[in-house]
């Protein structure tokens, strides 16, 4: 008597696992197809107007020399000065596909460069703040933290002061 019950329960479990596996496979395929459809649409999106993009401007206090400081701070200030002449935009939270859909695939290399410049600036500001604090330039570090919070609210280091 116990063998038929065990067999029935085993068969039911096998059927349920098979159904769940099939559903999971269909869901994955559907999700993957949706992704590739969206990506194909993004790659064929025509070039759009990018004149309305709000660029980040580096304020003078961020790129101006602090005075007699370490080589590390001088190097960071020089690298920030180089970035001052370049365009930068915070595209955090947007995927490459989102950017291509919004601005056109032909604009993507330019958008990517601007985003890369933004990322470099954020990384430099993080290093700059730490280096300034280490050398006792707390007032300038606080100014930079304030600016950084405006342009990079998603970066954890700028949430603390």
- HSE of 86, CA atoms in CB hemisphere, 13 A: 19
Range of the domain at 124: 60-159
- 71 plus 105 within the same structural domain: yes
Query: Is the pLDDT reported for residue 83 higher than 90?
Result: yes
Q: How confident is the model at residue 160 (pLDDT cuts 50, 70, 90)?
A: low
CA angle 115, 155, 60 (to 5 degrees): 65
- 1 plus 27 within the same structural domain: yes
- 70 plus 8 within the same structural domain: no
Q: How confident is the model at residue 127 (pLDDT cuts 50, 70, 90)?
A: very high
The answer as to whether 51 is a domain residue is: no
- 95 plus 147 within the same structural domain: yes
How many domains is the chain partitioned into structurally? 2
- Residues 98-122: pLDDT tens digits? 999 999 999 999 999 999 999 999 9
Token code pair at residue 59: 């304020």
Token code pair at residue 58: 């580096």
The answer as to whether 110 is a domain residue is: yes
pLDDT for 121 equals 95
CA angle 79, 118, 48 (to 5 degrees): 135
The answer as to whether 49 is a domain residue is: no
- Residues 61-76: pLDDT tens digits? 877 766 777 899 989 9
What is the crossing angle of helices 96-103 and 2-43, to 10°? 40
Query: Is the pLDDT reported for residue 161 higher than 60?
Result: no
């Amino acid at each position: 008597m116990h063998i038929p019950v065990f067999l029935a329960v085993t068969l039911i479990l096998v059927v349920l696992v098979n159904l769940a596996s099939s559903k999971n496979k269909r869901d994955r395929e559907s999700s993957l197809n949706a992704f590739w459809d969206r990506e194909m649409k993004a790659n064929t999106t025509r070039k759009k107007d990018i004149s309305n993009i709000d660029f980040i401007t580096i304020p003078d206090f961020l790129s101006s020399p602090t005075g007699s400081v370490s080589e590390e701070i001088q190097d960071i200030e020089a690298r920030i000065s180089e970035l001052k002449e370049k365009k930068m935009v915070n595209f955090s939270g947007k995927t490459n596909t989102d950017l291509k859909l919004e601005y056109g695939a032909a604009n993507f290399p330019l958008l990517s460069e601007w985003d890369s410049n933004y990322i470099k600036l954020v990384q430099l500001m993080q290093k700059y703040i730490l280096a300034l604090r280490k050398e006792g330039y707390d007032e300038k570090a606080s100014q930079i933290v304030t600016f950084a919070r405006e342009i990079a609210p998603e970066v954890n280091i700028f949430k603390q002061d």
